[in-house]
């Protein structure tokens, strides 16, 4: 049993089906409902069911099914037009446009049939008295599709010139079509100008701004307006993601990813919609989709990723290379079918041009999570997609071939402390396999191999020391022993490292005194010892013991005393001096002298830059920025961070770049530049992903970015970013406070976007976590917000329970304002439920009593004023609630009694607001006064109503008039008071 026994039940069922997601299930239900309508034996029921079927087919992937129900409707119209009511007669003519477009999108429908149908549409519109605007728009679509530019331009002009009437598409859809043609003809700026009212929300409909946002992506990229393009992608993809009928717009978003270096994001989009590869109900959008699939796959092949697994049509495993060939072949076969139908080559030319596009932006970070494809590295290339340039790209001569050339290049890099020296020595080691090398060469190879091993390099450093001894360089051997000791400290054995470095320290001082080694070698040992003692400083938690500080500082000053004034042009010695000053800076900061620490870090960074080693300055500029931030000097913090990014240049590792951008985001946000802060957070997320730190640092960056977008009111973008962040945020990694804040922000976004059920879910999730916190204010707030969302989602019973829970929490916190507002909200909900006016009245009465009780117990004047205001608003809402509760079908005496009670509450509200007199604008009082005035008119008391209107006008007598700068509320209050006076006058004269 379906339960459909009458026309009203059928209409309810069709309305419910219309609210279901697009797709085959909704279409199947529409087909069932048509059968039910036929059993009712009511012609209009069948007409409405056919119209419903047409609508769901049109908004699905089964658009090819539209033609049968439309043909039946048209036949019914021709045979018995009197069976159609006004709405269904209008709808029949309206869907002519859908059917004409639908024919054009099906290559099996002959072009002659399309043209014939266009003539039929024009004839029927003329008979019905409609403008030719919709007809000329349809003609334009035909001409544009086949590539008849001259006819298209004529039809386009005629379309715009014809009068708009009830058959014209909505403004939003028309502007989309007009802008699309401008972009198609290469007039991107004009297209965006036409689309502006849709993008700004002036015009909208079921499919707009969805398609305008998608269509604007490539024009924006071509114009170099990358920030807008990114925003339109994040905002627009959210709109089309769940709409099955929008495969063409979905394809635009995949295309955007392929053209902006976001191939990984493009793959994720393909994986979300596997049916789009094969759904055949709308061949034109399938052609568009397959064309951009080919574009994306060929882009992956160009990156050396042809063998990567990719999502594709079900039934087999796909690689990028295999899917590229498949999608191109399918797309061109479809295009050929259209061209055979049209008698032109235009569709194929457009498809080939789309597939042949080159990237319009090499890198456009989106801020959302994406698993990056592993870029294939060429021979000798550094691992990772975004590593800095290799040795051959440094300044200086290009690397000569052969082992001697590799040795020379490696020594040039290591002697100059240039980046990639370790990689250069690794290349020497590979080239030297099986070759005869002297002990010095082998020592340097081992030395740099150990440097690349980090904390695991101690044994290799010891082997290097033996080779330096064999080569006759005892000073460098001792320096290698010191480096071995230091890496032991890095591995956590600081005491062992101190003991291990003692011997080399004593021996190198004696050797240097005898002239057996030079300053660089001696400085190497002394610096190794200083670094070890600084590790003890760094590992000390809490206050720094005096002995630890004294030992470390003495070791550092010993290095500076040895090297100071002797560096000359030796960059290695200059680096020792700069590093020594940086160590003193750290000691000062750890000892509580942040200002001295900042000064020394600044000096150390400047010394590295002066020595031609700016990449070494990065760490200390970042430390300087942290101290400057701590000291409240945001200007200096920002300068230091920008300098760090500049000095790091191409040598800065992705994770370091991410961290610097995150710090800079915090600093510039603190300086009131939220938009710029969002840009840095975006960069941070991008570089964290590039470093393989997406689930950790990247998630934190996305959390920060989402919050910054929320502050700017960029709700759709923020929602995409925050949802992406939540996929990786973990309480044990990032802290449950971060998770809760992200869910909170996301709930705010979803609420603003009208996704109230989803907003409630996020807020309830956040509240559940906050429930376990010692301080319960956040728990109460989130419970209250979740209740709001549940109410807006049409779930009053759930909302009432959530408000009741919030009320209990507010009461336990002693927060009267939260408690009162939860009671008022529950009263309004009760009015919509079976509990009805009595329950609503009881809840609102409780809210008034809570205010009154709290007022009796407060002595603080500021708190008293806030409570008085809350009481006034509660009386005002009580009056509104009573007025709305007056049942229209009740007897006159009952209605009058309810209105009298409502007026009493309004009068109390006015009195409370009058007593407030806290110097704020009287908007609350005048609002209540006007509400009372309207109730006076309903009760037949024109004199009292007029008195209230005049009281409002007097309240604003000294406020600038509407032309002189009065705010919007003042103008609205005056206008309403004048309107009330006019109604009173009409009542008096009537």
pLDDT confidence of residue 397? 41
Task: Find the mean pLDDT for residues 786-806.
Answer: 94
Q: Are 913 and 872 in contact (CB under 8 A)?
A: yes
Distance CA 359, CA 300 (A): 12
* Higher local confidence (pLDDT), 555 or 86: 555
DSSP state of 309: E
Rg of the chain on CA atoms, in Å: 37
Instruction: Identify the band that residue 229 occupies on the pLDDT scale cut at 50, 70 and 90.
Output: very high
Per-residue pLDDT tens digits for 765-785: 999 999 999 999 999 999 999
DSSP state of 318: E
pLDDT of residue 385 exceeding 80, the answer is no
Per-residue pLDDT tens digits for 715-752: 999 999 999 999 999 999 999 999 999 999 999 999 99
pLDDT confidence of residue 968? 87
Distance CA 483, CA 493 (A): 14
Q: Which two structure tokens, joined as six digits, stand for 633? A: 């000097």
Q: Which two structure tokens, joined as six digits, stand for 765? A: 């999730």
Q: Are 721 and 235 in contact (CB under 8 A)?
A: no
pLDDT confidence of residue 4? 82
Distance CA 896, CA 948 (A): 20
DSSP state of 281: S
Cα–Cα–Cα angle for 248, 270, 205, nearest 5°? Answer: 35
Per-residue pLDDT tens digits for 663-677: 999 999 999 999 999
Task: Find the mean pLDDT for residues 885-905.
Answer: 82
Per-residue pLDDT tens digits for 569-592: 899 999 999 999 999 999 999 999
Instruction: Identify the band that residue 387 occupies on the pLDDT scale cut at 50, 70 and 90.
Output: very low
Per-residue pLDDT tens digits for 623-669: 999 999 999 999 999 999 999 999 999 889 999 999 999 999 999 99
DSSP state of 129: T
Task: Find the mean pLDDT for residues 473-492.
Answer: 95
Instruction: Identify the band that residue 887 occupies on the pLDDT scale cut at 50, 70 and 90.
Output: low
Per-residue pLDDT tens digits for 934-985: 999 999 899 999 999 999 999 888 776 544 455 888 889 999 999 999 988 8
Distance CA 650, CA 94 (A): 59
Number of other residues whose CB lies within 10 A of the CB of residue 545: 12
pLDDT of residue 382 exceeding 60, the answer is no
Contacts of 23 (CB under 8 A, 6+ apart): 60, 61, 244
pLDDT of residue 99 exceeding 90, the answer is no
Structure-token match 């002297």, residue found: 438
Q: Which two structure tokens, joined as six digits, stand for 187? A: 């007039």
Q: Are 746 and 726 in contact (CB under 8 A)?
A: yes
CA 590 to chain centre: 39
Distance CA 169, CA 685 (A): 42
Instruction: Identify the band that residue 836 occupies on the pLDDT scale cut at 50, 70 and 90.
Output: confident
Cα–Cα–Cα angle for 90, 95, 101, nearest 5°? Answer: 150
Distance CA 878, CA 902 (A): 7
pTM over 0.75: yes
* Higher local confidence (pLDDT), 769 or 93: 769
Q: Which two structure tokens, joined as six digits, stand for 355? A: 């597939």
Q: Are 428 and 406 in contact (CB under 8 A)?
A: yes
pLDDT confidence of residue 620? 96
pLDDT confidence of residue 244? 87
User: CA separation (Å) from 747 to 278, 718, 751, 755, 772?
Assistant: 36, 11, 6, 9, 20
Q: Are 528 and 479 in contact (CB under 8 A)?
A: yes
pLDDT confidence of residue 372? 62
Question: What sign for the dihedral angle of Cα 291, 297, 300, 301?
Answer: negative
| Closest-CA residue to 201 (of 190, 216, 213) | 213
Q: Are 9 and 48 in contact (CB under 8 A)?
A: no
Distance CA 742, CA 759 (A): 12
Task: Find the mean pLDDT for residues 198-221.
Answer: 95
Q: How many helices (H) and strands (E) does the chain have?
A: 46, 2
Q: What is the 3-state secondary structure (H, E, C) of 10-69?
A: HHHHHHHHHCCCCCHHHHHHHHHHHHHHHHHCCHHHHHHHHHHHHHHHHCCCCHHHCHHH
Where in 601-640 does DSSP place strands (E)? none
Helix (H, G, I), strand (E, B) or coil at 284: helix
Q: Which two structure tokens, joined as six digits, stand for 140? A: 């334009």
Q: What is the DSSP string of 333-360?
A: HHHHHHHHHHTSSHHHHHHHHHHTPPPS
Query: For 280-401, where are the alpha helices, taking DSSP H only?
Result: 283-302, 320-342, 346-355
pLDDT of residue 603 exceeding 50, the answer is yes
| Closest-CA residue to 257 (of 245, 265, 268) | 265
pLDDT confidence of residue 24? 86
User: CA separation (Å) from 301 to 324, 356, 692?
Assistant: 9, 13, 22
Distance CA 540, CA 542 (A): 7
Structure-token match 């507010």, residue found: 810
pLDDT of residue 381 exceeding 50, the answer is no
Question: What sign for the dihedral angle of Cα 463, 466, 468, 471?
Answer: negative
Q: Which two structure tokens, joined as six digits, stand for 25? A: 């299930």
pLDDT of residue 375 exceeding 60, the answer is no
| Closest-CA residue to 205 (of 240, 241, 171) | 171
| Closest-CA residue to 359 (of 210, 268, 257, 241) | 257
Contacts of 256 (CB under 8 A, 6+ apart): 217, 218, 221, 229, 233, 262
In this structure, the chain runs to a length of: 990
Burial 134-162 (b: 16+ CB within 10 A, else e): bbbbbbbbbbbbbbbeeebeebbebbeeb
Q: 209: cis peptide before it, omega within 30°?
A: yes
Distance CA 746, CA 733 (A): 20
Burial 614-624 (b: 16+ CB within 10 A, else e): bbbbbbbbbbb
Helix (H, G, I), strand (E, B) or coil at 869: helix
pLDDT of residue 876 exceeding 50, the answer is yes
pLDDT, averaged across the chain: 91
Task: Find the mean pLDDT for residues 408-436.
Answer: 92
Q: Which two structure tokens, joined as six digits, stand for 66? A: 């539209």
pLDDT of residue 379 exceeding 50, the answer is no
Question: What sign for the dihedral angle of Cα 669, 674, 680, 681?
Answer: positive
- Percent of the chain scored above 70 by pLDDT? 95
User: CA separation (Å) from 383 to 378, 380, 766?
Assistant: 9, 9, 40
Q: Which two structure tokens, joined as six digits, stand for 668? A: 């510039």
| Closest-CA residue to 617 (of 636, 635, 598, 604) | 604
pLDDT confidence of residue 475? 95
User: CA separation (Å) from 142 to 112, 174, 281, 564?
Assistant: 11, 16, 19, 82
- Percent of the chain scored above 90 by pLDDT? 74
């Amino acid at each position: 049993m379906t339960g459909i026994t009458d026309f009203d039940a059928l209409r309810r069922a069709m309305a419910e089906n219309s609210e279901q997601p697009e797709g085959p299930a909704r279409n199947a239900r529409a087909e069932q409902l048509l059968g039910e309508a036929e059993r009712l034996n009511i012609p209009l029921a069948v007409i409405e069911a056919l119209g419903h079927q047409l609508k769901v087919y049109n908004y699905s992937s089964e658009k090819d099914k539209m033609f049968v129900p439309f043909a039946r409707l048209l036949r019914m119209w021709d045979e018995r037009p009197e069976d159609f009511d006004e709405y269904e007669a209008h709808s029949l003519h309206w869907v002519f446009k859908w059917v004409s477009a639908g024919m054009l999108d099906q290559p099996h429908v002959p072009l002659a049939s399309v043209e014939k149908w266009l003539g039929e549409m024009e004839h029927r519109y003329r008979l019905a008295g409609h403008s030719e605007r919709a007809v000329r728009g349809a003609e334009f679509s035909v001409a544009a599709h086949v590539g008849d530019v001259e006819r298209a331009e004529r039809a386009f002009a005629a379309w715009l010139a014809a009068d708009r009437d009830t058959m014209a598409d909505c403004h939003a859809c028309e502007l989309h079509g007009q802008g699309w043609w401008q972009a198609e003809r290469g007039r991107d700026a004009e297209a965006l100008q036409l689309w502006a009212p849709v993008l700004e929300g002036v015009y909208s409909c079921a499919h707009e701004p969805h398609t305008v946002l998608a269509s604007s992506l490539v024009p924006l990229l071509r114009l170099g307006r990358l920030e807008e393009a990114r925003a339109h992608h994040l905002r627009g993809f959210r709109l089309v993601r769940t709409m099955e009928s929008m495969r063409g717009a979905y394809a635009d978003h995949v295309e955007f990813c392929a053209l902006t270096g976001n191939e990984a994001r493009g793959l994720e989009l393909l994986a979300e919609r596997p049916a789009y590869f094969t759904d055949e109900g709308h061949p034109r959008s399938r052609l568009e989709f397959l064309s951009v699939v080919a574009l994306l796959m060929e882009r992956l092949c160009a990156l050396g990723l042809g063998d990567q697994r990719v999502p594709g049509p079900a039934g087999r495993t796909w690689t990028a290379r295999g899917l590229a060939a498949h999608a191109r072949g399918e797309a061109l076969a479809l295009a050929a079918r259209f061209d055979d139908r049209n008698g032109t080559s235009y569709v194929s030319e457009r498809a080939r041009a789309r597939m042949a596009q080159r990237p319009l932006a090499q890198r456009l970070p989106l801020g959302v999570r994406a698993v990056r494809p592993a870029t294939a590295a060429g021979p000798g290339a550094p691992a990772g997609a975004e590593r800095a340039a290799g040795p051959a790209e440094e300044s200086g001569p290009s690397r000569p071939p052969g082992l001697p050339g590799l040795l020379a290049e490696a020594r040039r890099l290591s002697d100059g402390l240039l980046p990639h020296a370790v990689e250069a020595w690794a290349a020497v080691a590979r080239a030297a396999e099986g070759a005869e090398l002297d002990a010095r060469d082998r020592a340097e190879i081992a030395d740099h191999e150990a440097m690349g091993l980090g904390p695991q390099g101690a044994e290799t450093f010891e082997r290097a020391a033996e080779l330096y001894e064999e080569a006759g360089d005892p000073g460098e051997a001792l320096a290698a022993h010191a480096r071995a000791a230091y890496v032991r400290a890095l591995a956590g054995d600081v005491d062992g490292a101190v003991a291990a470095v003692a011997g080399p320290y004593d021996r190198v001082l004696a050797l240097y005194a005898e002239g057996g080694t030079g300053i660089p070698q001696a400085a190497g040992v002394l610096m190794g010892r200083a670094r070890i003692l600084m590790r003890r400083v760094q590992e000390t938690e809490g206050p720094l013991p005096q002995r630890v500080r004294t030992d470390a500082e003495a070791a550092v000053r010993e290095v500076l005393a040895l090297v100071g004034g002797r560096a000359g042009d030796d960059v290695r010695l200059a680096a020792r001096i700069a590093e020594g000053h940086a160590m003193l800076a750290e000691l000062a900061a750890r000892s509580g002298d942040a200002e001295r620490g900042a000064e020394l870090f600044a000096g150390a960074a400047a010394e590295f830059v002066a020595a031609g080693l700016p990449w070494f300055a990065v760490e200390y500029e970042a430390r300087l920025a942290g101290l400057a931030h701590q000291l409240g000097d945001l200007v200096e913090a920002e300068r230091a961070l920008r300098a760090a990014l500049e000095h790091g240049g191409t040598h800065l590792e992705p994770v370091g770049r991410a961290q610097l951008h995150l710090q800079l985001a915090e600093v510039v946000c603190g300086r009131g530049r939220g938009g710029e802060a969002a840009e840095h957070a975006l960069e941070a997320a991008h570089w964290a992903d590039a470093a393989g730190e997406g689930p950790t640092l990247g998630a934190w960056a996305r959390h920060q970015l989402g919050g910054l977008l929320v502050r700017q009111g960029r709700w759709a973008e923020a929602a995409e970013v925050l949802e992406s962040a939540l996929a990786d945020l973990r309480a044990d990694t990032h802290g449950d406070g971060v998770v809760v804040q992200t869910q909170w922000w996301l709930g705010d976004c979803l609420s603003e976007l009208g996704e109230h059920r989803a907003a409630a879910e996020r807020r309830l999730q956040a509240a559940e976590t906050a429930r376990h916190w010692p301080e319960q204010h956040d728990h109460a707030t989130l419970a209250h917000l979740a209740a709001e969302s549940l109410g807006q989602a049409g779930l009053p019973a759930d909302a009432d329970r959530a408000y009741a829970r919030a009320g209990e929490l507010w009461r336990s916190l002693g927060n009267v304002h939260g408690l009162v507002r939860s009671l008022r909200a529950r009263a309004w909900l009760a009015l919509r439920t079976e509990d009805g006016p009595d329950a609503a009245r009881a809840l609102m009465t409780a809210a008034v009593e809570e205010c009154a009780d709290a007022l009796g117990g407060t002595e603080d004047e500021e708190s008293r004023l806030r409570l008085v205001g809350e009481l006034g608003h509660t009386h005002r809402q009580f009056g509104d609630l009573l007025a709305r509760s007056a049942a229209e079908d009740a007897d006159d005496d009952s209605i009058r009694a309810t209105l009298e009670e409502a007026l009493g509450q309004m009068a109390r509200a006015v009195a409370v607001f009058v007593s407030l007199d806290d110097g704020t604008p009287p908007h609350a009082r005048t609002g209540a006064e006007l509400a009372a005035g309207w109730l006076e008119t309903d009760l037949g008391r024109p004199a009292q109503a007029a008195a209230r209107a005049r009281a409002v006008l007097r309240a604003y007598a000294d406020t600038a008039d509407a032309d002189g700068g009065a705010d919007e509320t003042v103008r609205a209050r005056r206008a309403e008071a004048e309107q009330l006076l006019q109604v009173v006058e009409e009542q008096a004269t009537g």
